[in-house]
Amino acid sequence: MQTAEISADALLDLVRAYNPKTNAPLIKAAFDYGAKMHEGQSRHSGEPYFTHPVAVAAILTEQQLDDATLITALLHDTIEDTKASFTDVEEMFGLEVAELVDGVTKLTNLQLNSTETKQAENFRKLFMAMSKDLRVILVKLADRLHNMRTIKAMRPEKQAQKARETMDIYAPLAGRMGMQWMREELEDLAFKVLNPEGRASIMRRFITLQRESGDVIQRITTDMRHELERAGVIADVFGRAKKPYSIWRKMEEKEQSFSRLSDIYGFRVITGTEEDCYRTLGAIHQRWRAVPGRFKDYISQPKSNGYRSIHTTVSGRDGKRVEVQIRTRQMHDVAETGVAAHWSYRDGVRTQNPFAVDPAKWISQLTEQFDAEDDHEDFLEAVKLEMYADQVFCFTPKGDVVKLPRGATPIDFAYAIHTRIGNACVGAKVDGMRVPLWTRVKNGQSIEIISAEGQTPQATWLDIATTGKAKSAIRRSLRAVDRERFVKLGQELARSAFAQVGRKATDKALRTACKNMRLESVEDLLAQLGSSELTGREVVQAVYADLAPRKSDQINAQEAVVGLEPGQSFDRGTCCRPLPGERIIGITFRGKGVTVHTIDCEKLSVYEDQPERWIDLRWHEGNHPAVYDVTIDLTLGNGTGNLGRICTLIGEAAANISDLEFIERKPDFYRLLIYVSLRDIEHLHALMLTLEADSDVAQIRRHRNGDASKREKQSV
């Protein structure tokens, strides 16, 4: 049925088919009100705009949803795009509908495809809106589905933006809610926009395969029905080819060509009882060979969104693999609509499906671990991890079930039980055998966590953990440990800095420095001093400005690093070019001294398995000479006098230019590398702020050279 053809009566017929007791006059009133409010508005295709809300409502009737959700669908754009107000909607259709419409409006205004930080904040708002009433996101998903079905009317760049947003956010969200059919259709519609050639290629190969091997689906379906009849099982059997995007993803993941991909067909068996599900499984495994490692029993261990089914993969005709899903009718209803099954109606009454998940419980499980997360990027990472997670089910020694995403480790298991247990974890046993903490857990395994008092999370755990909850807890603990360590180091640095001017770092002196530097507490001051965010000289100047070390008291560049053995030489890594004031680490080379790197240098990963070569270093506190070379990557407007002005600004900042290298020239802009000699990291920050403020500077960043020095290459 085309959207333009759906009248009020046609829509009511769709509703009455599953809910004869529907409030038809209220739905008709909402239809008429929406049509009136959107009168004169058109879509990109030229159709009357109101055909879109009607189509969204029709999509929701396929999930047999309640009247309030359908009325919300009809009115979901009225508050945003027409003169209708929240009060108007509330007076005519009640507070429940008004709040749902308002919730959808707020979701529509979220720019979910924006920058990382803003995107994370919008994800927070998305989950907050969902937590109030999950029907808001059901309407939004149906809204997105219809927009994707009619996306061809949009401009190409708008199509690409909407398709990417759909692939990244709405499709996985639909899947996480258990609405697998919607996830597959959204992915396929987005795939058609983002990679039309890839999709067309798969479609052509399907046609070729069907021509060569005939109707495989019909043959296997007939064989399955025959086997079930022999076993005395009454069931419906359906077969289908998997969606093009699903096949494309398998090809990418397995790095296989289409011809080598085996399980491109899926079959579904719908039985009358749970007992028949297992009888069906036995009949299928007797007739066809089961593929090892491809069996999952989500009936005995359901997914958190209520999904129940038995999955198995068998070798069918001609050795081709086929995936089979076995479930009852009630399980199938939840599998089709997921969390939405909570609101579905049948024969005029709310469906009492025993497998439907309580939406409030579901959303609380999804959001509880994000509430305590302070870091926006951490929050976004956690959300995406949970959105895309497939699940495995493990057991505690007492037999309790713990659900984890596929690829999870014992560390994730420990934090899933309790944060305290995760923080104290020192080891794990899987099925009674001691295993490393990076072991990937599997379905059905029993896991015992070994803990110890005084244990704290290690930084390496961040690479081992996969769940958002575990990563969030580890980061919080590491920040607390780091702060404690930085405070202790800051106390020593403060004592040393004050001693250089013949004074003591008393509590009163530190409180004075804290007040003058506008910091909240002495502990904050010491933590920043210990983490190199502040220097000892700055703290002393905040109290005794006239006693701070003079500029003439410069540190010898050959003795600028603390922590070396007597007589041991050092040089700065060419990959990161560390500056005084930055946190540093040293890598030793046989008979050739030490190479100094910044603590976050990517080159350090080469030496991860050689801990004996690492030494802790730090820069001398004090006044360093401007002899440390740094490269600045600058994009500058191509105008008369611009480069000369930039060179003047660099000179005025007491920095010396040693070389210039043009790496890209355009008619209006050019990009160049400027090689300058600086004192320390503060000198670099000040210089970059000065240059960035110039109106003709389009972009500026510190350039780091990824190539190692000759000496390092020879010694590795």
Q: Known catalytic residue: 227?
A: no
Q: What does the alpha-carbon distance between residue 344 and residue 353 come to, in Å, rounded to a whole number?
A: 9
Distance CA 358, CA 61 (A): 20
CA distance 139 to 174: 11
80 in active site: yes
- Using alpha carbons, select from 562, 709, 692, 682 the residue that is nearest to residue 626: 682
3-state DSSP assignment of residue 47: coil
Q: Which of 5, 9, 13, 80 is catalytic?
A: 80
Q: Cα–chain-centroid distance for residue 556?
A: 47
The full DSSP string for 236-277 is: EEEEEEPPHHHHHHHHHHHT--GGG----EEEEEEESSHHHH
SS3 241: strand
Residues 345, 100: Cα–Cα separation, whole Å: 19
Nearest of 533, 698, 702 to residue 629 by alpha carbon? 702
- Name the 3-class secondary structure at 60: helix
CA 135 to CA 66: how far, in whole Å? 10
Question: The tokens 């497998």 sit on which residue?
Answer: 355
Please answer whether residues 335 and 309 qualify as being in contact, where contact means their C-beta atoms are separated by less than 8 angstroms. yes
CA distances in angstroms from 194 to 119, 251, 507, listed in the order given: 21, 17, 62
Question: Concatenated DSSP letters for 650-697?
Answer: HHHTT-EEEEEEEEEE-SSEEEEEEEEEESSHHHHHHHHHHHHTSTTE
Provide the 8-state DSSP code for 134.
T
SS3 category, 700: strand
d(CA 416, CA 470): 7
With both helix axes pointing from N to C terminus, report the angle between 274-287 and 216-230 in degrees, rounded to the nearest 10. Answer: 110
CB 392: neighbour CB atoms within 10 A?
A: 21
List, as own/partner pairs, every contact residues 40-49 make where C-beta atoms lie below 8 angstroms and the sequence separation is at least 24, other chains included.
Answer: 41/81, 41/82, 43/150, 43/153, 44/153, 44/154, 45/150, 45/153, 46/153, 47/3, 47/4, 48/4, 49/77, 49/81
Distance separating alpha carbons of residues 220 and 199, to the nearest angstrom: 25
Q: Of the candidates 338, 352, 332, which has an alpha carbon nearest to the alpha carbon of residue 273?
A: 332
The active-site residue, picked from 9, 66, 77, 81, is 81
234 phi and psi angles, rounded to 5 deg:
-90, 120
Backbone angles phi, psi at 610, to 5 degrees: -130, 60
The residues carrying an active-site annotation are 80-81
